[in-house]
Every structure is written in structure tokens, then in C-alpha cells.
Amino acid sequence: MFWNQKSIVLPIALSLLVIGCTQTTEEATTDSTSTETIETVPDRSSQKDAASLLVGNWKAIVDTDAETNGLSEEEQQYFDEMMKDFEFIMKFTEDGQVMTSMDDEIAEYKVEGDEIILDGERSQLTVTETELTIETDGETMSFSRTDKDVSEVADLESQMETATEKIEAEIESDIGSASFKEAEAQTYTGAMNRAGQAYYLENAAFANTIEDLALGLQEETDDYQYSIRTTEMASFNYAISKNEEFKSFVGGVFAMEDGVTETVVCVADTPGMSQLGEPTLQENELLCPEGTTQVE
């Protein structure tokens, strides 16, 4: 159909806005006075045919809970937030024309019984004073009546640019947050533990330096100082915060019986730059040092 022509540019947004608008029409919020504010809509109090009911402006009901294949959980979260700001309007006129807020194109439509022929494509039509659904090949578009005209809504590409800028700003803010930095430090500490296990399995001894772990990890970043201390039976991996607002981490790799190793990662209970104690092995149980809590 004519409104899908930009799907290459906006594949995900359009799939939810135009093809995937599958929320039930019961979830639409309607304004009982909205039909009175649309200049092109005559008094329909005595008109019951679908063609008359269809005339006017309709806003797509977007399923913000829809899952998008290929996105991570975090990406899905950002995408859901982005979709909440999108608006897609369709305007049906009395003289058989339809236009959308996507672009300036105008297409022809015709209503035949409970079907609509839109730009040459036949679809199932259900329309009332407040609700509209158009079903094509098993996919349903749901709309609620609105007093907004297509001219009052930015095209989808502009909306996408605005939403993307908003999301990028939020992501940048998240990247600088304590939770993001701490998650990174925890990931590195766990990676050092696992690399230490592999090194012990191959060499029957623990690595003495971060370089020996072959992780490509720098010993110091803007936010953390990484280091290793080893004994004959254990290796301790540190991620010590360089910022009073971030928590530090310590990992431990312990040699057990028969060459088996066990690991633990502990996080400081409070933010700060102090050196942490070391995990211990007591009666085959790994324990975090005082002032820390086990996270792995």
C-alpha cells in the first residue's frame, strides 16, 4: 500500500506503526467531542454506512508492548520508549481521497460494503464513530478518531530523527552513570576470573599479571584500576574505583581438589576508592570479605 513506500528507511517504526498496530480498540482513548471539530465531517448522527463513518482523521494505535526480533532487552526498552512519541494520522475525505502524516502523497479509496479498496488494494474494514480497523492479509491496523489533521503531525522520518536524538542523549547519560560503570567493572572482574581459570588449567599455576590473562584489558581506565595478586592456591582480581561515586569489585579464583577451580565476584557495599579485602575459602565454601556482597 502507498504508505509502505518508506519502509526501507524506517523498517522497524513502520512495522509497528502501520503493519503491527495490533492493540485492541478497547485500549484507544477517544474524545466524544472530537468529531465536531473536524471540518470535513458532517453530522453523522443519522448516518450509519461505513463510507460516511470513515470520513475524518484517525490516529494509529501503536502496540508499544510489541517485541521486535533481533533487539537486545536493553535495545527493546529504548525502542519502546521511542515508539511512545510516534504519531501516525490518516485522513479520509468525502470525495474518496486519503492522505497520511507520513508524506504529501494522496491516494484514492472506495468503500464497498465491509471492505475498503485503498490505492487499489482490497482490505477488510470495520468502522464505528470512534474506532477503525483495516485488516490486510491477516495483519490489522487499529485507529481511534482524533481531531488532529495530518498537517499538524510531523512526517515519520522527522519523528524518527527527533526520537533518535532523544534516545541517544539518554544512552549517553546512562553510559556516564554509576550503574553503567559498575556493570562494566563487574564484567571485567568476572572475565579476569574466567581467564584465570583457563590459565591455571593450562599451566597448573595462576597468572601473575593482567597481561598473562591475554584479555587485552588495560590495567587502568578513567574510572577503575585493575590488578592481580596471586598465591599458590588462589588468585585475586581487583577492580578498584577511582571515583568516590562508584563501587569497587574483587574476584577470587581458588584451586580445589583434582585441579578444579571455583570463582567468586564480590562488590563493595558502599561506593569509594578504598582497597578491598580478599575472598576466602572455608570448608569448601567461598566467602566474600567484610564490607562486600557476592554478585557472581
In this predicted structure, the answer to whether residue 167 has a pLDDT above a threshold of 80 is no
Task: Write down the mean pLDDT value for the chain.
Answer: 79
In this prediction, residues 174-188 reach a mean pLDDT of 83
In this predicted structure, the answer to whether residue 97 has a pLDDT above a threshold of 70 is yes
Q: What pLDDT sits at residue 246?
A: 93
* Residue-by-residue DSSP string for 70-135: T--HHHHHHHHHHHTT---EEEE-TTSEEEETT-S-EEEEEEETTEEEETTEEEEEEE-SSEEEEE
* pLDDT tens per residue across span 118-143: 878 899 999 999 999 999 888 888 99
CA distance 208 to 100: 66
Cβ–Cβ < 8 Å for 123, 134: yes
* pLDDT tens per residue across span 268-296: 999 999 889 999 999 889 999 999 999 98
High-pLDDT (> 90) share of the chain, %: 46
* pLDDT tens per residue across span 42-89: 444 334 689 999 999 999 887 656 556 666 676 666 667 666 767 888
